[in-house]
Each structure stands twice: as C-alpha cells, then as structure tokens.
Chains A and B, each alone.
Chain A
Amino acid sequence: MPDYTRILCAVDYSEPSRRALDCALWWARWHGANLSVLHVHQQATPVVDASLTGDHAAVDTVAPPVVQPAPLSPQEREAMMENLAGFVGGRRTDGVEVELLLEEDPSVADAVLARAEALACDLIVMSITGEESAPSQSAVGRETAAVMSGAGCAVLCVPAPAGDGPDTRLARLDRIVCPVSFSDPSRLALAVAGELAAQAAAHLTVMHVVELSQVAASAYDFDAYREERIEPACRQITELVSDTVADVAAVEEVVVTGAPETEILKAAHHWEADLLVLGAGASPVASATGTTLEKVARETPCPVLVVGGGPLAAALLHPVRAALPVDATR
C-alpha cells in the first residue's frame, strides 16, 4: 500500500514550484505525512583553473588544480532560510509538520536524490518545469527529469498552471488514469493507482495503447494486423485488472490504438484526470526527444505520479498468471 509518511518537496521559488508545494501539502494532509521542503542552492561546477595549469598540463602525473566554489557564508545561509520560510509560510499547512532544508550542490537533482535517500522519503514532489525553463517552454526541467529517472521512491511531478485561477486538480483525487504496458513497472504503477483509488474513492481508468506500425502493416492486410494486436491486449488488460485492482469499486479498462504519448494525453484531457500514474520505464518507446514518460510529463494537464523502484516495488510485484481468460473473442 502506498502509505506516504515522509514527503520531500523540492522548490526553487518559481510559480510552478509553488504549485508543487501546494500539491505536496495536500498529499501530506491526506496521508498524515511529514513534509520536508528543500531548496538547493546550485553551486557553480568546480572548474580547472587554466591559469594555474600552464606547462604542467603536459605532465601526466600532475593533476590540474581544481577551483571549488565558495560555500555560502552563515549570513547567506540564514538569509536563504528566511526566504524559504517566507515561501512556505504563506501556504496552507493545516497542521502538517513542515521541515525546511537548504542544500548547496552543483547538481540540484543529485542533492534532491541524496536528501530523499537520507530521509527515507517515500515520495518526492517537484514541479515539471522550474526556473530553468522559460514560461513559453513546455519542456520537462532537466533536474526534474533526472530525479524522475534516478529516484528510488515515487515522484509526483506537478505541471505548470494551464491558465489563470485556482487549479482544483492539485487538491482532489476523483479520477485516476493509469496507462499500462503489461511490463513489471506498469503493473507496479497499477497496484499503486489501485490503492490510491481505493483510499480516495476515486474512479480508476486503466488504459493500454496498442501501437500500430504502418510500415509493418503495409506488408499485408492492415485490418488483420490491427486485430492481431488488439485482441491479446483486450485479454491482457482484463486479466491485469482482475489480478491487480479487483477490489476497486469504480474501475474501467480501456484499449486504444495510436501513439502512446498522444493517447495518454488525450485520455487525461477527455476524462479530466486528476492524476496520471505511470511506471518508471513502463513505456519502452524512446526517441531522440526522450521517453514516452517525458513526453507525457511535458504536456500533462494534471500531476503525474511516477512509480519507480525501491522497497515498495519489491513488496508489490508478484508473478503474472500464465493463463489468461478469454473475455471477448471473434
């Protein structure tokens, strides 16, 4: 069961990270969790001082001198902690125990991951876009992407606001959409989605996208090719839902055809999802512009919960039954 008791929220004082903080506070209230709010002061990357290498560069045995960035002074740290307290202070905490943390590190992602591990956090909350992304860009922030791929616990990625006004999707859980690929990570994601749906009495939509290769299909009958892909998917999703989330009162299974990222985003909009739950690495489709997960995170209208490895994964994963019941046949 995804019992989130220790949540870490990374903030950079941007508006998207303010939304992430509100979302983290809502999840902390819901689960009765402690919340740690972390700001990472990004140090300059240590550099080789070229002025000091000179002729030594040609000598293999002499390591070039490295200039380490100066750490924050006590006064600077104090000022930054005051900023952080001010950032958090205006939010609605409703009794949630909030701890403020300040780190100095050249890599925000490394600092977040290290702190999450040290605190044994079971959930990291971050905005999808941060200070590094211009408002006009809808890209997944570099640091957020690194945390998504490197975390040993679940990561909740919060999108930038779609428009003016309050976004109720951050503070409710009526509809969860969980895309599955029948891989182990996606089965884990479905187990978590099912538990969350049961806890929140939310409606759960389990969807699978059948990718149809036009190139392969052009070699022979497209209709037959399409049907050969769809029929097993319908049987598998029925089996998966029966096996994993049978206890959820309001659950539906859906099979669609098309490009995974497009169909997942369409589903999130069509069903007005409050949360997408995906397995880290659940969608093996990769391209030069990133994975399906990153593509979804780039344009999602609602928070995305990325369920990865860690102890929870080991506890929830169990062997797939070999025999699949036939539900709909031709």
Chain B
Amino acid sequence: MPNQPIARVDLPGLERQDVMLQVHQTRLLIAAGAEGAAEMKRHLEGDTHLVYRRDRGTGGFFCSLLLPNGVHADRLEATLTNGVLLVTELGEGADA
C-alpha cells in the first residue's frame, strides 16, 4: 500500500523546530509559533471551538484536522520542505 497524504499546509518562513504536531483522539493538531502553541494547549484543555488560526504577521499557526478512518498515529510522518508541511501515513512495508 503506498504512502497516503493526510495533510498539506503552507507554513512559509517556518523551520522544522517551529512546528508541533500531535494526534489527539481522532484529530491531528498542527501548531507553529507561540500563538499556535497556545491554541494547541487550549484545544487539549477542551476548548475545541477554534479550529483554524493563522497570523500572517508572526507566522503563528494552528489547525485541527480530522484523521481519516483507519489511520494509525504511529505510522504518520511529517516533512517540511520549502515552507510546505506534508503529513503522510506510511504504507505497508515502510518503516514508521
């Protein structure tokens, strides 16, 4: 089974160390910058009303995406290339 793309997010100007990913229940949380980290914290504490936030001035980012049925969190892989974050689920036979 080939690798399955899960999410693609434009994060211009950000480096790998700026980005945080976390699987929470059925959702994939992506955050960048201080504002994004704060939103992720709020989300994990139960405030799930905010689902998307992008600050164009600071680059802060947060989004909460529903994972497709059957996706295994331990098989997710993320790459950040030229400001584009790509999250994929590795296919059968690939190393997680």
**Measuring CB to CB, which residues of chain A are less than 8 angstroms from any residue of chain B?**
203, 210, 223-224, 226-227, 230, 233-234, 237-238, 241, 249-258, 263, 266, 326-330
Contacts and interface: CB of A to CB of B under 8 A. Distances in A.
Given A253-B53, A257-B49, A328 B6 contact: no
Interface string B50-75: 11111111001001011010000000
Contacts of A252: 35, 53-57, 60
Contacts of B63: 234, 328
A258 B10 CA distance: 26
Contacts of B55: 250-252
Nearest to A228: B66
27 contacts: A223-B66, A226-B66, A227-B65, A227-B66, A230-B51, A233-B52, A234-B51, A237-B52, A238-B54, A250-B56, A252-B54, A252-B55, A252-B56, A253-B53, A253-B54, A254-B50, A255-B50, A255-B51, A256-B51, A257-B49, A257-B51, A263-B49, A327-B9, A328-B7, A328-B65, A329-B7, A330-B6
Nearest to B62: A254
A327 B53 CA distance: 12
Interface size class of B (residues with CB under 8 A): 20 to 34
B60 A328 contact: no
A46 to B, nearest CB: 51
Interface of B: 6-10, 26, 35, 48-57, 60, 63, 65-66, 68
Nearest to B26: A223
Contacts of B6: 330
B66 A256 contact: no
Nearest to B87: A330
B63 to A, nearest CB: 6
A210 B48 CA distance: 13
A227 to B, nearest CB: 5
A329 B8 contact: yes
A284 B43 CA distance: 29
